[in-house]
Amino acid sequence: MTWRDMAIATLERVGMAAVKGFIAFVALYVIPMALLAPALRGLREVMVSGPSPEAIITYFTAIGVFFTVAAELAKNTILEHALSIGRGLAMMVFTIYATNAGVFSLLITSFGTPIEITIDVSRLIVVFIGIGLLDMARGVLKALNWACERADREP
């Protein structure tokens, strides 16, 4: 393989990663912010604890775009599978952070009297964490499969 072929392959990979990163950005940030902007403003006013809804969408977008671009750049390597495992771990940690470990507090003012409502959905968060663990296990199995296939191909 010549230097020219390697440069073309690298440019193709970087170009594809940029396109997929842009699509992920539009899907994860631009569309939700455009569709949910009025609802997010209203929700920001009643949320007592945790990050603002805009911050949650921004952090989720950063995680999604980073892992989309990194996985595309590392395609057909073991690093692709390591990034899949890292994405599962990052999404689990993000879920716990964004939901305040499953406890939502809202402050609603009705007829001049503030009412604080606390909702505990920690069991639902445990389900999401379980799904994240399954995603990580899938990444480990894909990495093992990749290593076995690579060992079979080499003499």
**103 — pLDDT class (breaks 50, 70, 90):** confident
The answer, yes or no, to whether residue 24 has pLDDT greater than 80, is: yes
The answer, yes or no, to whether residue 69 has pLDDT greater than 90, is: yes
According to the model, what pLDDT value does residue 40 have?
81
According to the model, what pLDDT value does residue 143 have?
93
According to the model, what pLDDT value does residue 117 have?
87
pTM (2 d.p.): 0.84
Do the Cβ atoms of 142 and 88 come closer than 8 Å? no
C-alpha span between 78 and 143 (Å, rounded): 6
C-alpha span between 27 and 60 (Å, rounded): 11
C-alpha span between 98 and 22 (Å, rounded): 24
